[in-house]
Structure 1
Amino acid sequence: MNTPIPEFYPGSLVSARGREWIVLPESDQDTLRLRPLGGGEKDESLIYLPLERQPVRPATFPWPRVGQARNHAASQLLLDALQLKLRNGAGPFRSFGNIAVEPRAYQLVPMLMALKQATVRLLIADDVGVGKTIEAALIAREMLDRGEVQRMTVLCPPHLCEQWQRELAERFHIHAMVVRTATAARLEKDLPPGTSVFDAHPFTVVSLDYIKSERRREAFQRFCPEFVIVDEAHTCTQGGQGRQQRYQLLKGLAENEERHLVLLTATPHSGDESAFYNLLGLLRSEFPALKDLPPGARTDLRDELSRHFVQRRRPDIAEWQDTSMFPDRKTTEVTYRLTGAWGQLFNDVLVYARELVERAEGKALREQRMNWWAALALLRCISSSPAAAVNALRTRLNGAVGAEDGRELTLEDIDQQGEERVLDGLDDALSTDDIEPAAQTEDTARLRELIAAAERLAGPGNDPKLEKLQAHLQSLLKEGFLPVVFCRYIATAHYLADFLRTKFKDVTIKAVTGEFTPGEREAAVEELGDSDKRILVATDCLSEGINLQSLFTAVVHYDLSWNPTRHEQRDGRVDRFGQKAREVRSTMLYGEDNPVDGAVLQVILRKAESIRKELGVLVPMPDDEGKLTQALLNAVLLRKGNALNAQSQLELFGAPAKEIETAWQSAREKAARNRSIFAQRRLKPEDVLPEWRKSAAVLGGEDDVARFVTRAVAKLGVSLEDYRGHHKLNLDQLPLAVRERLAADSFIGTLRVSFYQPPAPGSLFIHRTHPIVAALADTLLERALEEAADASDADAVARAGAAFVGNVSLRTTVLLLRLRHQLSVTRGTATRLMLCEETVAVTVAGSGSPEVLAPDAARLLLGTEAVRNMPPPIRDRHLQQALDQLPAWTAQLEAMAKERAQALLQDHRRVREAAEAKGSYQVTASLPVDVVGVYVLIPAVGV
């Protein structure tokens, strides 16, 4: 006769293989996923019940014993270890125990908005640097930990794939595979026939450019995960061929009403009304109808949109009263003049460029465009540096350049290459191509003279732009700023870095360009963190994808970008969430008599900045696929005479400048109208802060981590060494078992560690989920729970203790409890069981009843120092009296556990109210409660 196999629910305690375990979710009738009583994630095991030699039996948590008494000072350490070990916390948010970032309260607003929707459809349009990546990943992590989704993907431009992969892994413990042209074949190689990459890998980061083609799009729509994040969503609206393909991809995904969709963009409405409403239509098919409503009309549809659309400028964040979030950005301008040999060369190049254009008049359109791009390339490069000008003049432009098969480039190919290397691209596809464009259309004595003149000008004494940079950097360094210098071309970056190294001997200087792979760029930037004084020279390959706020505090625009969005992106690498400095600097360097700089500055950049200051949001350049910028620069190229008058730019540059002014005005009016129409009833601090504080209280924050690690390593015989505002931790001095566990995660030797975000440059941020915290907490708790432990074990923490203290008037017993709850989520016929845990301190004063202590009060009591020694016999007597009382308190403790379970149920229903329409929650306390520690505090009368 077969013995029926018992069913153990998540949170149950069982005895198996000679030790006690906690049953985890994902267990079933035949298989148990288990965690040792004192262990962590690293110690989890799977047991296949039919093959077990000894049956798995129910178990109970052992109460503390008098023999486990220690110095009372070790009691708080056990409280911290228990709290910081929690991964399945019992606060209103399931995800907080599984993230390695402490989100600001304002960053919870999108998540709370999302949790109020049965199917999440959200457009997050927060300002640059506010933290959209964190906000979106928080929603994904929460939905995963609630069991509502099992798979997720991020769709983003190809250059952002590694950044997303890194952010998800390091901050949210979501290990995603990158899917794009270079990786897809490898990922598909070993899959069984008919299996999709998206089934085999539940978490992915997918290049929009890879997946948008019709063939791949159709396959992706069949296998797409149920939760999708789309970064740079404004690039996925109807328009050119690439945009149209991306839009069709998202439109197909959105048609599945069960799919969760989170769209991210800093520029949701850039003046293109149709594009904006197409974006809204991905949230709900009815929203494009808002386009035809009068501006003042209030409708239910607009009210409904406010629940799906969140947009905060930095001033909007001020109401959260967190002064540490964003620095004050101070902008300045530094100018130079085209004097002497430099001015002569510039004029000679400008005349030569103009002749190239005039010479091609009347010839074939293809030759006209080639000469026009060559002329524009010369203007761009000579405005950048002599080194860039030399490279442009030496590189021949012909019809075969860039053609892999040797064929002649088409007119479209020529324009595309010119737009990428000369212009800065459009807002939906800013160029990161930093190779100098070809400008040589002939090989003449005159051309060779220009090259020789440019080579002679390179370096100090001849290059007024370079001299101005040196003086400005000297000033920034003297004031304590750490600058990033952005330029347009590779040659310029190396030219600057080589020169600056000769002038700043005590400063570490690196040039990072598109010659580096993304991984090499990141490594080069991180290496600069080892130096107190540093300057980074970079092309726009770093203006997206790598955040620089932990290492740098100033941005110098050595080359003006011809697209204002690029300027904001450069500044946004430094001026963003996580910047420690209270002030950052942004400097534009330009030639006051350089006609190219004058046109770009007056007609494009200053107008963009004035609109940004007025409206508080970035409004992209209203450029008709680059046509307005090209017309403006054509006017610069063909205008005779170079004298500039800053007050009359519109007259100087004629119709193109006036056309751009009109376009800017229209874009400003549309952006202002949209901000008025779509101003939403945002969640206010009073709606969010209580939920945030509840979760922080359950799990512990940065202060708790700092206190615990400092005391835990000291308990194990190691002290933290203060070092430049952070600490050094020598792992080699820790016990062997801890060293081996950390070595498995590649942590060895001496580490520089920080406990607060953003971490000190070159240091490792130690968050509550970090392997170091987990290893220390698991080790101390395992030792505390060992049955064989006795008072001679100096490394153990206290499960029991008694002390004479001065802050109680009655004999007070503090019970340290671990509560386990089973959370069941039912959707249709499927029920998912989850485990919730929390650490609670309960106090009994005199002969009173047990009462739950607030976390701060518990730490205050357990952290109280004894005012005089208590002899062991007296200590043991007090402890035994408390332990004898435990059976009488059990019923009250279980009642407390049930009350906490119901409070947890209300928390989950409140923050996920929309999900009630699709299913139900139930929370059950696992009884009896775990009494982990017992501590007796005796009034120190007369002391």
Structure 2
Amino acid sequence: MNSEASVLQVSQVQIGDLVQARGREWIVLAKPTDTLLRVRPLSGSEEDAVLLAPKLEREKVRPATFSLPTPQQLDSQDAARLLADALRLSLRRGAGPFRSAAHLGVEPRAYQLVPMLMAMRLDVKRLLIADDVGIGKTIEAGMILREMLDRGEVDSFTVLCPPHLVDQWVAELAEKFDIDAVAVTSARARALEQGIALGDTIFGVHPFTVVSLDYIKADSRRESFAQACPAMVIVDEAHACVGGSERGIQQRFSLLERLAEDAGRHMLLLTATPHSGNQDAYARLLSLLHPDLAGGPDSPDPNAVERYRRRLAQHFVQRRRPDIADKWGEARAFAKAMKADAPYTLTGDFQAFQEDVLEYCLGVATRADGERARRLAFWGTLALMRCVGSSPAAAVSALRNRLGGMAEEAALEPVLFDADEGQLADNDVEPATAPDSEEAAELKTLITRAENLAARFGEDPKLRELVRQVKVLIEKGARPVIFCRFITTAEALGEALRAQFKKQTVEVVTGRLTPEERRERVEALADFPDRILVATDCLSEGINLQSLFSAVVHYDLNWNPTRHQQRDGRVDRFGQQAEQVFSIMMFGANSIIDGAVIKVITEKMRRIEKETGVVVPIPEDSASVSSALMQAMLLDPNRSRRQIQFDFGDADQQLEIRWKDAEETARKSQTRYAQGALKPEEVLPEWQRMRDLLGAQTEVERFTRRALARVETPMGEKGRNWRVRYEDLPLQLAEKLKARGLTGTRTISFADHPAPDVAHVGRTHPLVATLAETMAEGALDPGGVEGKATLGRAGAWRTRAVQTLTTVLLLRLRFKLKTSGRRTLLAEEATAIAFGPDAFAHGPEALALLEPQATGDLAEHIIPRQVEQALSRLPQYQAAIAAHAQERAAALREDHDRVRAATRGEGVTTEVEAVLPADVIGIYVLVPEAN
């Protein structure tokens, strides 16, 4: 690069200009203030961008021009093709209407573009994204966020989520959206605050944060956070912030309500269960989008209802799995769900023990005096019976805990009914269940019997059925996750399964582990193809398991239908590579407790789901649920003991009414509030353009194969797939990829739907991105790259691809983009232009001339002469290069305006200006082969 002598005034610097500072050349990306420049090294990547304060630089900031290739930078045809692909694949500031496309580490499906296009319609982005579990709400929200960052609409953001999801969000943002966010939790906040200047905050110092709702909701933090909160907020599991009367939920809603007061704040609310049957909670959720949505239509008049529906449709998107498969033609986006029941029959001591524990519990309930004591006795009975039904080990723990003293309703209710308030790790411990002093002797007898059964766990009919089911799943090629309700059950299962399945690696994850330890244990299983995971519900949210497992076994029945859905959703979700996923629900065919749950909860949930397509939560009236469960247990036809009479009133009928109310609410949600959002025909063309921008499968595979061969680490074939040995790569490349978690030998595929345990490698996969960035840098700054990763920028060869002497110029075009009312942004595009004696070609047609294999080499002394002569002709080509750049600017303007018109209507235009002269990255002379 060449630096001009004059000193550049800061006011003269424009986006896209080249400047020299600190002994190297830079591209100006932005001007954050009148005194600062954000710049990227001319030969570097986005990660190398820095802020310059020109007035404070020791050496003056000067204008610079891009250096042309020289005859001393010669290389082969393979290097020319590599450089052309590397330049295109390494650019992260795409010029197309979807600015975020080049940053995405996941290839989105067409339906996942809908929320982003809806957001583009709104000046203030406030959306409720309520797609089914596993459809990809995180991806949809992340795409909106990445697009807003790349358009310069926001500079900072925060994600608010339950504590167990914090690390998941940090990982997803880094892996899929190239965003490094800081986790803010109770355990980490103090360390983050150290060293912050007085008067500043974590959120002032760290622009990208993922914050635990339970940390930030506190009264002492809420107001200060609201004042420092970024202009962009994503709220995950938003339903857990609006329903219920518990103080914690009220604090969460107070926080969100305070944030929503800023009418200019962007807010994305994510939940798979927007309507839990509580109309007030639903209204509070909608009020965060817009005050007019909180109370429903102004009147029952059809016009008022339609106006309300249209308003809601601007802010609310909800799709079910069938919608995706049928309307969007995405049947292959999800595996085929294979659901089955696995009943078992209790026998002998195991059956007698469950009967005797129930007799004991009913005796306690009989002695209870007063309504509160009776209710607590019923809850204690159900909680204890739930532990007994789980496993002998859980029974031992629960009975021992019962000796420890009273348990309050507040402690029993969330454990009993699988309450979902983002505290799953705290609820997998067997509860104490409120004994009195008269029970001690009877309890000790039951504990002894439970200990005996735990010692004979191998004889347990429930365990035997599990072993049978796991064997069948393994024979089908599936890898199972076994979900239990309690820690002791999970630990006992882990030990039993290790003894049964010697060839499998069996891991156990429970609430005893920290979130980081859970993640580490799960990720470590990737190295063991034959694997089984046993987990409590601490994993039913927070860690996606679709890349490692393809089956879920519900060892313990869920009492909350949405929790059952969440368990399945860890495996049956977007990104699952298996063609089939299995869900096995185990229950005791003659179990008193399982029979009651199936009658009161499971059968009704299944009927509603079949008829409406919606999984509804358990009714919130826990008293009627517990009474109905107790009534069902006492009336179980399998009970041979004496019937103890309790007056439950019309508990079963009352609960039936509540289930019907939930069903009716689900139906209304599908009709009154249903909206089509955007139709497939409006989205699919833009999605296809995005795919083309990201790079087609054949182009990515071609580049990766050639690049690995260049650094002498070729891929090995494995059937239809490839194997990459990361440890054999040159040290510099190996270390970069190790930092991204890529080590050892891995099987990869470039196809859209690879087999399980085969990694899909696309344009932004770390392997491709690192190779592309390294190769591009190796051409522009050879001193910064080791070995054969360096590429020359010039060459000449004989070919039958042309009939006359042809010069191909590899170009980097720079553009300034400016949308009405928005900042000026830099965009880049890699292309080529080919010149013959009388005509020229550009774009894909010019790049294609580099592909046909050379028919022969030129003499060594002729190649530099041909390059010198081509360089001497460059002045003649400048007018055509400039015209091509301006034509591309006009085409890009049309692309931007078309998308903006589709999302917001007319009147919003995008200015696209070519920055000239274009950068000539490479120059290649094609000599026609004589016939």
**One fold, TM greater than 0.5?**
yes
Secondary structure class of the residue paired with 2:625: helix
Mapped pair 1:545 → 2:545: no
Superposed CA deviations along residues 590-611 of structure 1, whole A, max 9, x for unmatched, are: 1111122112123312322232
The corresponding residue for 1:299 is: 306
| Counterpart mapping for 1:27-176 below 5 A | 31-44=36-49, 48-50=53-55, 55-176=60-181
Mapped pair 1:931 → 2:920: yes
Q: Distance in 2 between matches of 1:890 and 1:418?
A: 78
Deviation at 1:939, TM superposition (A): 5.2
Match of 1:480 among 471, 477, 481: 477
Mapped pair 1:191 → 2:186: no
Match of 2:624 among 622, 628, 631: 628
The corresponding residue for 2:430 is: 436
Which stretch shows the higher mean deviation, 467-476 or 601-610? 601-610
Secondary structure class of the residue paired with 1:818: strand
Deviation at 1:354, TM superposition (A): 1.1
Deviation at 1:261, TM superposition (A): 1.0
Q: Distance in 1 between matches of 2:314 and 2:348?
A: 61
1:520 maps to amino acid: E
The corresponding residue for 1:451 is: 447
Q: 1:683 to 1:881 in 2, by over 3 A?
A: farther
Superposed CA deviations along residues 33-55 of structure 1, whole A, max 9, x for unmatched, are: 44333222455455554466665
Deviation at 1:578, TM superposition (A): 0.4
The corresponding residue for 1:904 is: 892
The corresponding residue for 1:535 is: 532
**Is the CA contact (8 Å cut-off) linking 1:430 and 1:566 kept in structure 2?**
no
Secondary structure class of the residue paired with 1:481: coil
Mapped pair 1:424 → 2:431: no
| Counterpart mapping for 1:805-820 below 5 A | 805-806=799-800, 812-820=806-814
Deviation at 1:243, TM superposition (A): 3.1
Q: Distance in 1 between matches of 2:110 and 2:409?
A: 47
Q: Distance in 1 between matches of 2:781 and 2:527?
A: 43
Aligned length: 909
Q: Distance in 2 between matches of 1:34 and 1:861?
A: 34
Superposed CA deviations along residues 817-838 of structure 1, whole A, max 9, x for unmatched, are: 10011234564xxx74321111
| Counterpart mapping for 1:332-411 below 5 A | 332-360=340-368, 362=369, 367-397=373-403, 399=405
| Counterpart mapping for 1:438-517 below 5 A | 438-439=432-433, 441-442=436-437, 444-458=440-454, 459=456, 462-517=459-514
Which stretch shows the higher mean deviation, 251-260 or 128-137? 251-260
Match of 1:247 among 250, 253, 269: 253
The corresponding residue for 2:518 is: 521
Q: 1:466 to 1:814 in 2, by over 3 A?
A: same
Superposed CA deviations along residues 120-154 of structure 1, whole A, max 9, x for unmatched, are: 11111111100101111211121122111122111
1:728 maps to amino acid: V
2:313 maps to amino acid: S
**Is the CA contact (8 Å cut-off) linking 1:894 and 1:928 kept in structure 2?**
yes
Match of 2:711 among 691, 716, 724: 716
**Is the CA contact (8 Å cut-off) linking 2:561 and 2:602 kept in structure 1?**
yes
Q: Distance in 1 between matches of 2:502 and 2:485?
A: 25
Superposed CA deviations along residues 597-656 of structure 1, whole A, max 9, x for unmatched, are: 1121233123222322332332222332x2232122221454476359xxxxxxx99843
**Is the CA contact (8 Å cut-off) linking 2:275 and 2:282 kept in structure 1?**
yes
The corresponding residue for 1:833 is: 824
Q: Distance in 1 between matches of 2:744 and 2:471?
A: 34
**Is the CA contact (8 Å cut-off) linking 2:559 and 2:618 kept in structure 1?**
no
The corresponding residue for 1:584 is: 581
Deviation at 1:109, TM superposition (A): 0.9
| Counterpart mapping for 1:861-900 below 5 A | 861-872=849-860, 879=867, 882-900=870-888
Match of 1:616 among 613, 617, 620: 613
Deviation at 1:496, TM superposition (A): 1.2
Secondary structure class of the residue paired with 1:39: coil
Superposed CA deviations along residues 405-449 of structure 1, whole A, max 9, x for unmatched, are: xxxxxxxx7001111333311578768511112245456444333
1:386 maps to amino acid: P
Secondary structure class of the residue paired with 2:817: strand
Q: Distance in 1 between matches of 2:286 and 2:685?
A: 31
The corresponding residue for 1:853 is: 843
Deviation at 1:369, TM superposition (A): 4.9
Q: Distance in 2 between matches of 1:53 and 1:451?
A: 78
Q: Distance in 1 between matches of 2:444 and 2:186?
A: 42
The corresponding residue for 1:676 is: 671
Q: Distance in 2 between matches of 1:187 and 1:259?
A: 25
The corresponding residue for 2:336 is: 328
Q: 1:700 to 1:711 in 2, by over 3 A?
A: same
The corresponding residue for 2:9 is: 5
The corresponding residue for 1:406 is: none
Q: Distance in 2 between matches of 1:705 and 1:939?
A: 29
**Is the CA contact (8 Å cut-off) linking 1:556 and 1:586 kept in structure 2?**
yes
Q: Distance in 2 between matches of 1:331 and 1:769?
A: 35
Mapped pair 1:200 → 2:208: no
**Is the CA contact (8 Å cut-off) linking 1:15 and 1:56 kept in structure 2?**
yes
The corresponding residue for 2:644 is: none
**Is the CA contact (8 Å cut-off) linking 1:819 and 1:926 kept in structure 2?**
yes
Mapped pair 1:272 → 2:278: yes
The corresponding residue for 2:686 is: 691
Q: 1:765 to 1:327 in 2, by over 3 A?
A: closer
- Percent of aligned pairs with the same amino acid: 47
**Is the CA contact (8 Å cut-off) linking 1:119 and 1:260 kept in structure 2?**
yes
**Is the CA contact (8 Å cut-off) linking 1:77 and 1:712 kept in structure 2?**
yes
**Is the CA contact (8 Å cut-off) linking 1:396 and 1:441 kept in structure 2?**
no
Query: TM-score, normalising length from structure 1?
Result: 0.88
Deviation at 1:782, TM superposition (A): 3.7
Superposed CA deviations along residues 801-858 of structure 1, whole A, max 9, x for unmatched, are: 344445556655433210011234564xxx743211110123446622x34333xx56
1:5 maps to amino acid: Q
Match of 2:817 among 816, 823, 841: 823
2:398 maps to amino acid: A
**Is the CA contact (8 Å cut-off) linking 1:822 and 1:836 kept in structure 2?**
yes
Q: 1:531 to 1:865 in 2, by over 3 A?
A: same
Which stretch shows the higher mean deviation, 527-536 or 900-909? 900-909
**Is the CA contact (8 Å cut-off) linking 2:7 and 2:63 kept in structure 1?**
no
Which stretch shows the higher mean deviation, 933-942 or 333-342? 933-942
**Is the CA contact (8 Å cut-off) linking 1:5 and 1:29 kept in structure 2?**
no
1:388 maps to amino acid: A
Q: Distance in 2 between matches of 1:235 and 1:787?
A: 54
The corresponding residue for 1:801 is: 795
**Is the CA contact (8 Å cut-off) linking 1:387 and 1:455 kept in structure 2?**
yes
Q: 1:801 to 1:931 in 2, by over 3 A?
A: same
